[in-house]
Amino acid sequence: MSKLSISAGVLTLIGLTGVVLAPAKPALAGDQLTIVSTGGALQKAQRKALFEPFSNTTGVKITEDEYDGGSAKIRAMVDTRTVSWDVVDSGDGPAIQMCNEGVLEPIDWKKLGLDRSKFTDADKMDCGVPAQSAAAVVAYDKDKLPNGPQTIADLFDLKKFPGKRGLYKSPGYNLEWALIADGVPVKDVYKVLGTPEGVDRAFKKLDTIKKDVIWWTSGAQAPQLLADGQVVMTAAWNGRIYDANRNAGKHFQILWDAQQPLQDYWVIPKGTRHLEEAYKFIAFATSGQAQADLTRYIPYAPGNKEAMALVDPASLPDLPTAPQNIANVMPSGATFWAEKDYDLRQRFTSWLTE
């Protein structure tokens, strides 16, 4: 996502009920927040567009932490009543799962002072506010592969594109792409993957490239694998590819076919001691201007629909929601993975060792 320049004037327009953002003042002992995100290019962008402007405007001191996007640590904190994280950027699948388990604070939209109907996918669950939407994509180095892949099936075509592939070490993304490459229409993927036969079919297709896969576990690894020439193409998050092109001078190309949308939510672990400050931050970070400002730094689509009118036109073509990028986009799999993650992860872990 990519847009900055948040002014104190913008804050006065938010009109929060019960959580009006005060002008800058010396921070009191209680005016502090620990905000957690997934590091890398995203958290760097959030720091510039959200954390620092919010802290400078309100006087609330922000301490940052990073995590792997999983729910285990949050669940452990809540279970042991040792919550030290106040606001967390969570992916949609884990957020839905934690909400269903009672691990997160339900969001009071009236207290937040924002119109829920203005947010994409805000009705998926009651414990989060849509932050930004990224995409899991396939990318390649155009300098090394000028005539690169055109469809997701090319990810599995070792004759047409010999060489190693980089894939995220997770059943998610890979099982969906395997089925699409095997002929399943995008709209039917989760219907097929919800059956034992569909799961077997996906793993059978993955078998065809298994020996040529380099598995990665951190977002920074994907563009590095491309840069080092270790792979001819790789799964990646679109923001990482953008960051490599913009800040490292690369000429990586994204394949906008069967990309998988990744909606993030700002969530609050149940039991935080800084609930009021958490609401203030989320109200700020999900305002139209703040979300538009974030797109100045990383091309992730705003969760607040009103932000789109404020996005710099130069940034629009890089967003995963741009018209030219969504012709064959995958439907969201958040609800599917919230229900099926454990079983499919067990199967995937076993398959890796076969």
pLDDT at 212 over 50: yes
The values of phi and psi at residue 182, to 5°, are -90, 5
At 278, list the tokens: 């958490």
In 3-state terms, the chain is what percent helix, strand and coil (to 5)? 45, 20, 35
Query: Binning pLDDT at 50, 70 and 90, where does residue 202 land?
Result: very high
d(CA 49, CA 269): 23
Task: Tell me the C-alpha to C-alpha distance, in Å, between residue 76 and each of 71, 99, 104, 273.
Answer: 9, 14, 12, 16
Q: What would the pLDDT profile of 10-54 be if each residue is shown by its tens digit? A: 333 333 333 444 444 444 445 899 999 999 999 999 999 999 999
Q: For residue range 275-334, list pLDDT tens digits in order.
A: 999 999 999 999 999 999 999 999 999 999 999 999 999 999 999 999 999 999 999 999
Percent of the chain with pLDDT over 70: 92
pLDDT score recorded for residue 137: 98
- For the chain, where are the E strands, in sequence order? 32-37, 61-66, 87-91, 128-141, 165-168, 213-216, 233-237, 252-267, 301-302
Q: Which of 104, 102, 36, 19 is nearest to 284 (CA)?
A: 19
- Whether 344 shows a pLDDT value over 50: the answer reads yes
* 6 has a pLDDT exceeding 70: no
pLDDT tops 90 at residue 5: no
- Interatomic CA distance for residues 324 and 314, integer angstroms: 14
What mean pLDDT comes out for the span 163-176?
A: 97
Provide the pLDDT for residue 324.
93
Q: Which residues contact 228 (CB under 8 A, 6 or more apart)?
A: none
- pLDDT at residue 199 tops 70: yes
Nearest to 56 by CA among 255, 228, 290, 264: 290
Considering only residues 312 and 5, tell me which one the structure prediction assigns the higher pLDDT.
312
pTM: 0.85
Residue 31 confidence (pLDDT): 85
Which of 310, 345, 295 lies closest to 134 in space, CA to CA? 295
Q: What confidence score (pLDDT) does residue 177 get?
A: 98
Helix (H), strand (E) at residue 100: helix 92-101
What's the mean per-residue pLDDT of the chain?
91
- SS3 of residue 62 by DSSP: strand
Q: Write the pLDDT tens digit of every residue in 70-104.
A: 999 999 999 999 999 999 999 999 999 999 999 99
Which pLDDT band holds residue 267 (cuts at 50, 70, 90)?
very high
Look at strands 128-141 and 233-237 and give their pairing.
antiparallel
Give me the pLDDT at residue 330, please. 94
pLDDT at 183 (0 to 100): 98
Q: Which residue is listed with tokens 């940052």? A: 64
Q: Is the pLDDT of residue 179 over 60?
A: yes
**pLDDT of res. 30:** 55
